[in-house]
Amino acid sequence: MRTVLGVSVGTATARATALDAADDSVCSASVARSFEPADHVGAALELLESMAQVQNVDRADIVLAVPDDPASRTSASAYSTHDAGRFMVVSELGAQLRFLRGTGQLDGIRTVAICDLGASGTTVSVVDPASGQVFCSRRTAIFGGAVCDDAVRRYLLGTYGADELVSSTTLDSLQTAIRYGREQLSSLRVAEVPGPFVGGPVRLWRSSFDEIVDHAVRAVEDWTASVIVDAPSSVNALAIVGGCAHIPSLRRVFRRDLKLPVLVPSLPESLTAHGAALLAADAVRSRLHRPLAAVGRIAAPASDFDFVPRHRSA
């Protein structure tokens, strides 16, 4: 069995997916969380090294998906890779497209808008999924995981009060707890958030969370709509990726207000690493002259329908 590896770089999370190059089946997946933003590249490289060693992956069979400047995306195909010496590097947009194409969700779609709702902001790219040609790409900081978490922190401290001995370390721990709580609310109605509150841990209900982030959600929907309207090519569908794509109220607003099919993969936070691994498998087949049909198909998940990064969107 020949194993390939895909790794994604994130400001708060690095992810890795190892695949069997013969049939694109997942061999292993791993994640590294809660590191300092300045260390996000190092954390991704550490994860890459450890996974490559455990899975016995050759250097030539590793693809690292990195954030890039949206303004530079129109100059080359999103699928373009370059050799960084120890591994191949691709734009995170290219990895996301490769995953979505593999599921078949983009079949028949000539132009798709990829809305990447990451930790530090949102990027919308309008692209031809067949060729990888990017017609336009824009980014905003009005919405992202950090925006949601900051709003929840202000609400919880304002509502429940805080111990008088609150330290910066305690507040950092609270921010991490809020992030985990936000992730839980993607599938649960309530999450418990420990912290420096006067009465101990508090419950955060999904209905309260929706109210807290409603203004930011509506703002990013309006902004996304403006990018799509101003795009030089007509958009046939919108795909939402990134950790914040889990927020139920955001999906509802996008589906209600945008006059487009809205695609939401079941694991939107993990598909960049998975797509990078699929690109690594494609490269192996290309070298061996054994192409899989089209771009290769993976089992479609359940759906609701160096290299120094200059920009962070996931």
In order, the DSSP letters of the chain are --EEEEEE--SSEEEEEEEETTT--EEEEEEEE---GGGHHHHHHHHHHHHHHHHT--GGGEEEEE---GGGGGGS-TT-EEE-SSSEEEEHHHHHHHHHHHHTTTTT-S-EEEEEE-SS-EEEEEE-TTT--EEEEEEESSSSHHHHHHHHHHHHHHHH-B-TT--HHHHHHHHHHHHHHHHHTTT-SEEEE-SSBTTSSEEEEHHHHHHHHHHHHHHHHHHHHHHHHH-SS---EEEEESGGGG-HHHHHHHHHHSSS-EE-BS-TTTHHHHHHHHHHHHHHHHHHT-PPSTT---PPPPB------S----
Band (pLDDT 50/70/90 cuts) for residue 266 is confident
The pLDDT value recorded for residue 307 is 35
Over residues 160-168, the mean pLDDT reads: 79
Report angle CA 214, 217, 218 to the nearest 5 degrees: 85
Closest Cα to residue 254, out of 221, 297, 299?
A: 221
The pLDDT value recorded for residue 12 is 80
What whole-number distance in Å separates Cα of residue 241 and Cα of residue 131? 20
The pLDDT value recorded for residue 34 is 64
Band (pLDDT 50/70/90 cuts) for residue 261 is very high
The pLDDT value recorded for residue 198 is 87
Over residues 206-222, the mean pLDDT reads: 97
pLDDT digits (tens, 9 = 90+) for 63-92: 999 999 999 999 999 999 999 888 999 999
pLDDT digits (tens, 9 = 90+) for 98-115: 999 999 999 999 999 999
Over residues 280-295, the mean pLDDT reads: 75
Q: Which domains does the chain have, with CATH numbers?
A: 1-105+269-314 (3.30.420.40), 145-212 (3.90.640.10)
State what percent of residues in the chain have pLDDT above 70: 90
The pLDDT value recorded for residue 312 is 33
Torsions phi, psi for 116 (to 5 deg): -95, 105
Closest Cα to residue 35, out of 158, 119, 141, 147?
A: 119
Over residues 147-167, the mean pLDDT reads: 89
- For the chain, the average pLDDT equals 89
The pLDDT value recorded for residue 305 is 35
